């Protein structure tokens, strides 16, 4: 597994960008209603998914992460939302945020990498399921399959288990694929879904693409799949890297593929 080099020049640029952000007003997003068979991007990797009124949330983060202030507020109140499943991809602070999890309903079912089961239970959740590559969770009409992402998911890069999960969520005839956080991989090839939630941010400076896909790499993975639509996520929420979010959007627009659904935070997209 390649490691990212956090050199002094990069850290100075990153901290400067975040310092500027502290003096800027946090944007207020759209807040459209979530309807049956739809998704809403809450910000970063947090997406609310409604499949036949079964509600899933991916990597919920309701506030800032450490010293990284949000650029835009979450579009939904996740604390009071009626959620059935929380899907956690990996251990990084912007994906498993214990501050957010502590505030959420503890009766929901949580799926996460196996090395985080104990930590999630300590927070108070009663039904925590550790899941690894190739394993499937089945509950009535709901099927959730775990696929390996190409990403070192260790918190602070400590420990041996660097698992990072992607999930294919299905209910009846509808399905959504959540890629989590990933560099380019062929692991998603031939996956069928109505919608692919694909990360497109955190790829600069050079070397970050060993852990995070570029927008073009994200699109390449999407085209290797059998998915009807791609919804870009994992950008325009925190300043964790050096690329400009507008550049990311312009790259996606330059592809000129109308199956890429570039949405603002808080916009509901039908499945």
CA distance 271 to 199: 18
> First vs last Cα of the chain: how many Å apart?
35
- H helices of the chain, in order, are 8-22, 98-103, 117-123, 215-224, 245-254
Could you tell me which of 53, 114, 102, 103 has the C-alpha nearest to residue 82?
A: 53
The answer to whether 161 and 115 are in contact (CB under 8 A) is: yes
For residue 247, give the DSSP letter: H
What are the tens digits of pLDDT across the range 13-31?
Answer: 999 999 999 999 999 999 9
Of 164, 195, 190, nearest to 178 by C-alpha is 195
- pLDDT tens profile 196-219: 999 999 999 988 888 999 999 999
Confidence at residue 1, expressed as pLDDT on a 0 to 100 scale = 40
Convert the pLDDT of each residue in 175-195 to its tens digit. Answer: 999 999 999 999 999 999 999
β 136-139/268-270 pair status: unpaired
pTM of this prediction? 0.94
């Amino acid at each position: 597994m390649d490691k990212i080099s956090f050199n002094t020049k990069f850290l100075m640029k990153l901290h400067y960008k975040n310092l500027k952000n502290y003096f800027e007003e946090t944007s207020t997003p759209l807040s459209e209603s979530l309807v049956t068979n739809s998704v809403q991007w809450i910000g970063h990797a947090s997406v609310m998914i409604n499949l036949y009124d079964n509600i899933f949330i991916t990597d919920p983060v309701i506030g800032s992460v450490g010293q990284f202030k949000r650029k835009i507020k979450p579009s939904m109140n996740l604390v009071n939302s009626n959620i059935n499943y929380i899907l956690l991809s990996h251990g990084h602070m912007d994906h498993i945020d214990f501050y957010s999890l502590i505030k959420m309903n503890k009766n929901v079912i949580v799926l996460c990498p196996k090395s985080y089961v104990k930590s999630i239970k300590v927070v108070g959740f009663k039904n925590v399921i550790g899941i690894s590559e190739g394993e499937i969770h089945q509950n009535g009409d709901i099927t959730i399959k775990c696929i390996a992402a190409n990403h070192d998911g260790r918190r602070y890069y400590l420990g041996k288990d660097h698992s990072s999960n992607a999930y294919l969520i299905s209910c009846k005839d509808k399905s959504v694929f959540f890629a989590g956080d990933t560099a380019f991989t062929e692991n998603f090839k031939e996956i069928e879904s109505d919608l692919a939630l694909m990360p497109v941010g955190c790829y600069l400076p050079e070397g970050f693409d060993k852990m995070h896909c570029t927008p073009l790499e994200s699109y390449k993975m999407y085209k290797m799949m059998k998915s009807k639509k791609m919804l870009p996520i994992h950008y325009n929420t925190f300043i964790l890297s050096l690329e400009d979010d507008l550049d990311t959007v312009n790259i996606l627009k330059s592809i000129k593929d109308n199956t890429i659904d570039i949405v603002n935070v808080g916009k509901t997209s039908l499945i």
